[in-house]
Amino acid sequence: MNDSQPISATSGGDTSGLILIHLTTSAARNAAEAEAISRAYDKYIFRARRKKRGTEWLTDDFIRKVHFGMFGAIWECGGTYRKTRLNIGVEPQAIREQIRLLTGDFLSWDDSTSTMPIVEVAARLQHRLTHIHPFINGNGRHARLITDIFFYARQHRLPQWPQIQLVTDGNEVRKRYMTAMKEADEGNIAELITFIDDCLEKSH
């Protein structure tokens, strides 16, 4: 399972840690993941109580629980922070500390006295989670679900995230997303805000 492409489903043939060994093709694994993610959306958004603004709902435990809900029935690593170094993300030993810093920052962004626009909060949340890259796989889709949980908590419409394998300009969409994320790495969140705004426009 490989999630190095942040606006797509799992690709590749790496099946190490696969629980459902009968899923012998990438198409079968992608379909199973899509179904599990749909159930996770039902559980954490559509059938869930809205998270109250200013409460500490974004926690280390919740972040891992959501990932497990998305992938834990399919992959052994579901809900478990990675212990290996990747070519993206922070060092494995820094993950818990970076998550702790993120949850603290998010509590400040989401405080009832905060004037930070909703889409900027969402962009910063998604960027930081993706930048940390806490899991071996599924990081992009996990970050988008966490972002959607936040939008739902604020009674905001949800973005229509593009699936690059289903659109004719998929490579351009991915390139634009990656450019926005790299800009955010340098402290410029504006491009990512614009990207999310465009996804929100498509959800009308």
Q: What is the structure's pLDDT at 13?
A: 63
User: 138-164: string of b/e by CB count within 10 Å (b at 16+)?
Assistant: bbbbbbbbbbbbbbbbeeeebbebbeb
Three-state DSSP state, 204: coil
Q: What is the structure's pLDDT at 154?
A: 96
Q: What is the structure's pLDDT at 3?
A: 43
Contacts 24+ apart (CB under 8 A), 64-67: 66/40, 66/142, 66/145, 66/146, 66/149, 67/134, 67/135, 67/138, 67/142
The pair of structure tokens assigned to 113 is 């006295």
For 174, phi then psi, to 5°, come to -65, -40
Q: What is the structure's pLDDT at 100?
A: 98
Neighbours of 131 (CB within 10 A): 18
pTM more than 0.85: yes
Measured CA to CA, the distance from residue 8 to residue 30 in angstroms comes to 10
Residue type, 71: F
Q: What is the structure's pLDDT at 171?
A: 79
Q: What is the structure's pLDDT at 163?
A: 72
What would the pLDDT profile of 25-68 be if each residue is shown by its tens digit?
A: 989 999 999 999 999 999 999 999 999 999 999 999 999 999 99
Query: Domains in the chain, please, with CATH?
Result: 26-156 (1.10.3290.10)
Q: In the chain, which residues have pLDDT < 70?
A: 1-13, 164-170, 204
The pair of structure tokens assigned to 2 is 């490989």
102, exposed or middle or buried, with CB in 10 Å at 0-12, 13-18, 19+?
buried
Residue type, 131: H
Neighbours of 6 (CB within 10 A): 20
